[in-house]
Chains A and B, each alone.
Chain A
Amino acid sequence: MRVVVKYTREERVKYISHLDLMRTMQRAVRRADIPIAYSQGFNPHPVMSFASALPVGVTSDGEYMDMILSESMSLPVLKERLNHALPKGITVCDAMAVDSKAPSLMSLIERADYKVTSIGIDWNKALAAYRETPEIRVEKRGKRAVSTVNLKESVYDIGVDRENQEVLHLSMKIGKKGSLKPDAVVEALLELSDQNIAGSEQRDTRGSLTAIHRIGLYYRRNGEWVTPLLEKKD
Chain B
Amino acid sequence: MDKFILDQIMGQVSKPVRYMGNEYNMVEKHPKEVFIRFAFAFPDVYEVGMSHLGMKILYHLINERKDTYCERVFAPWVDMEEKMRQAGIPLFSLETKTSVSQFDLIGFTLQYELSYTNMLNMLDLAGIPLLAEQRTDEHPFVIAGGPCAYNAEPLADFVDLVALGEGEELISELLDAYGEWKDSGKSRRAFLESAARIPGIYVPGFYDVTYLEDGRVESVKPNTDVVQERVTKRIVHDMDKTYFPDRIIVPFMDIVHDRIMLELFRGCTRGCRFCQAGMIYRPVRERTPERLLEMAEKLVKSTGYEELSLSSLSSGDYSSLEDLVKQLIESFGEKRVALSLPSLRLDSFEKEYIHEMQKVRKTGLTFAPEAGTQRLRDVINKGVTQEDLFKAVSHAFESGWNSVKLYFMIGLPTETQEDLQGIADLVKEVARCYYMVDREKRQKGLKITVSTSSFVPKPFTPFQWEPQAAMKQFREKQGFLKKALRLRNVNYNWHDPESSYMEAVFARGDRRLGRVLLSAWKRGARFDGWSEHFNMDAWMKAFEENNLQPEFYAHRKREEDEVLPWDHIDVGVTKAFLWKERQMAIKGETTPDCRIDCTGCGIRRLGRGLC
Q: Interface on A for B, CB 8 Å cutoff?
A: 12-13, 15-17, 19-21, 23-24, 26-31, 38, 43-44, 56-57, 85-89, 199-200, 202, 204-209
Whether A208 lies near B252 (C-beta < 8 A) is: no
Q: A12-B22, A13-B252, A15-B10 are in contact. Are A27 and B16 (CB under 8 A)?
A: no
Residue of A nearest to B25 (CB): A87
- Mask: chain B, 1-19; 1 = CB below 8 Å from A; 0 = not: 0001001111110001101
Q: How many residues of B contact A (CB 8 A)?
A: 28
B253 interface residue per 8 A CB criterion? yes
CB distance from B480 to the nearest CB of A (A): 39
- 8 contacting pairs across A/B (C-beta < 8 A): A15-B20, A17-B253, A30-B305, A85-B24, A89-B22, A204-B11, A207-B7, A208-B4
A12→B22 CA distance, assembly (Å): 7
B465-505 CB contacts (< 8 Å) to partner A? none
B139: chain A residues at CB < 8 Å are none
Given A13-B22, A27-B250, A87-B24: A43 touches B9 (CB 8 Å cut-off): no
B11 touches A20 (CB 8 A): no
Instruction: Encode contact with A along B317-335: 1 for CB under 8 Å, 0 otherwise.
Output: 0000000000000000001
Question: Which of B11, B254, B305, B335 touches A208 (beta carbons < 8 Å)?
Answer: B11
CA distance A29 to B24 in the complex (A): 13
Beta-carbon contact of B12 and A207 below 8 Å: yes
How near does chain B come to A43, taking the closest CB pair, in angstroms? 7
User: What's the Cα separation between A89 and B23 when bound, in Å?
Assistant: 10
Chain A residues lying within 8 Å of B16, measured Cβ to Cβ, are: 15, 56-57
Residues of B within 8 A of A87 (CB): 22-24, 26, 250, 252
Q: Does B355 contact A (CB under 8 A)?
A: no
B301 contacts partner chain A, Cβ-Cβ < 8 Å: yes
B8 and A27 contacting across the interface, CB-CB below 8 Å:
no
Which interface residue of B11, B20, B252, B302 has the most chain A CB atoms within 10 A? B11
CB atoms of A202 and B24 under 8 A apart: no
Is residue B88 within 8 Å, beta carbon to beta carbon, of the partner chain? no
Question: Measured between alpha carbons, how far is A17 from B20 in the docked complex, in Å?
Answer: 12
B17 surroundings in chain A (CB, below 8 A): 15-17, 20, 56
Judging by beta carbons under 8 Å apart, are B20 and A85 in contact? no
8 closest pairs, A vs B, by CB? A27-B304, A206-B11, A207-B11, A30-B304, A208-B7, A207-B8, A31-B304, A15-B16
A44 touches B252 (CB 8 A): no
A86–B253 Cα distance when bound, in Å, is 15
Task: Write the nearest CB–CB distance from A210 to chain B, whole angstroms.
Answer: 9
Cβ distance A129 to chain B, nearest Cβ, rounded Å: 24
Query: Cβ of B306 < 8 Å from any Cβ of A?
Result: yes
A87–B10 Cα distance when bound, in Å, is 20
Q: Does B336 contact A (CB under 8 A)?
A: yes
Chain B residue numbers with a CB within 8 Å of A27 are 24, 250, 303-306
Q: Is B56 located at the chain interface by the 8 A CB criterion?
A: no
* Given A13-B20, A16-B252, A19-B254: A29 in contact with B4 (beta carbons within 8 A): no
Q: Is the CB of B11 within 8 A of A57?
A: yes
A contact residues around B12 at 8 Å (CB): 202, 204, 206-207
Which residue of B10, B26, B304 contacts A85 across the interface (Cβ within 8 Å)? B304
Instruction: Please indicate the chain A residues that have their CB under 8 angstroms from the CB of B135 in the complex.
Output: none
Tell whether, in the assembled complex, residue B22 and residue A199 are in contact, meaning their CB atoms are under 8 Å apart: no
Q: Does B361 contact A (CB under 8 A)?
A: yes
B265-301 CB mask vs A (1 if < 8 Å, else 0) is 0000000000000000000000000000000000001
Q: Are A20 and B253 in contact (CB under 8 A)?
A: yes
Which residues of B approach A to under 8 Å, CB–CB? 4, 7-12, 16-17, 19-20, 22-24, 26, 250, 252-254, 301-306, 335-336, 361
Task: Label chain A's interface by main secondary structure.
Answer: loop
Q: Which residue of A lies closest to B6 (CB)?
A: A208
Give B249's nearest chain A residue, CB to CB.
A87
Q: Say yes or no: A23-B20 contact (C-beta < 8 A), given A31-B303, A204-B11, A207-B12.
A: no
Cβ-closest chain B residue relative to A183: B11
Residues of B within 8 A of A23 (CB): 252, 254
Contact call A16/B20, Cβ cutoff below 8 A: yes
Measured CA separation A206–B11 after assembly (Å): 4
Instruction: Give CA–CA (A31, B8) in the complex, Å.
Output: 33
How far is the CB of A186 from the nearest CB of chain B, in Å?
12
Q: How far, in Å, is A178 (CB) from chain B's closest CB? A: 24
Residue of B nearest to A209 (CB): B8
CA distance A38 to B360 in the complex (A): 12
Task: Please tell me which one of the listed residues B9, B20, B23, B24 contacts residue A207 in the complex, with CB atoms under 8 A apart.
Answer: B9
Name the B residues within 8 Å of A30 (CB-CB).
304-306, 335
In the docked arrangement, what's the CA distance between A12 and B361, Å?
33
Q: Which residues of A contact B26 (CB under 8 A)?
A: 87
Residue of B whose beta carbon sits closest to that of A89: B22
Within the complex, what minimum Cβ distance (angstroms) separates B553 from chain A? Answer: 42
Asked whether, in the complex, the Cβ of B22 is within 8 Å of the Cβ of A31, the reply is no
A15: chain B residues at CB < 8 Å are 10, 16-17, 19-20
Complex Cα gap A85–B7 (Å): 27
Q: Which B residues touch A205, using CB under 8 A?
A: 11
Bound-state CA distance A23–B250 (Å) is 10
| CB-defined contacts of A19 to chain B, threshold 8 Å | 254
Q: Once the chains are docked, how many angstroms separate the CA of A24 from the CA of B254?
A: 10
Known interface pairs A16-B253, A30-B306, A85-B24; 7 further A-B residue pairs with C-beta atoms within 8 A, sorted by A's residue number: A12-B22, A20-B253, A26-B304, A27-B306, A44-B336, A56-B16, A57-B16
Residues of B within 8 A of A204 (CB): 11-12
Determine the distance from Cα of A13 to Cα of B19 in the docked complex, in whole angstroms.
Answer: 11
Question: Do A38 and B336 have beta carbons less than 8 Å apart?
Answer: yes
A85 to B17, alpha carbons, bound, how many Å? 20
How far, in angstroms, from A202 to B17 measured CA to CA in the complex? 21
| Chain A hits for B254, CB < 8 A | 19-20, 23
Which B-chain residue is minimally distant from A27 (CB atoms)?
A: B304
Query: A28 — which chain B residues lie within 8 A by C-beta?
Result: 24, 304
Cα distance A28–B302 in the bound complex, in angstroms: 10
Which residues of A are found within 8 Å of B301, using beta-carbon distances? 31
CB distance from A82 to the nearest CB of B (A): 11
Q: Which residue of A lies closest to B26 (CB)?
A: A87
Residues of B within 8 A of A56 (CB): 16-17
B12's closest neighbor in chain A, by CB?
A: A204
Query: A12–B21 Cα gap in the complex (Å)?
Result: 8
Q: Within the complex, which residue of B10, B23, B302, B361 is in contact with A31, where a contact is CB–CB below 8 Å?
A: B302
Bound-complex Cα distance A30 to B335 (A): 9
| B304: chain A residues within 8 A (beta carbon) | 26-31, 85
Q: How far is the CB of B248 from chain A (nearest CB, A)?
A: 12
CB distance from A118 to the nearest CB of B (A): 12
Which residues of A sit under 8 angstroms from B250, Cβ to Cβ? Answer: 24, 27, 87
* Residues in A whose Cβ lies below 8 Å from that of B303: 27, 31
Q: Once bound together, how far apart are the Cα atoms of A89 and B252, in whole Å?
A: 12
- Measured CB to CB, the closest approach of chain B to A33, in angstroms, equals 8
Of A24, A44, A85, A208, which one neighbours B8 at CB under 8 angstroms? A208
- Which residues of A have CB within 8 Å of B335? 30
Cα distance, A176 to B537, chains bound together (Å): 53
* Cα of A56 to Cα of B16 in the assembled complex, Å: 9
Nearest-Cβ distance from residue A35 to partner chain B, whole angstroms? 12
CB-nearest residue of chain B relative to A28?
Answer: B304
Q: Which A residues lie within 8 Å of B24 (CB)?
A: 24, 27-28, 31, 85-87
Cα A85 to Cα B302 with chains together (Å): 9
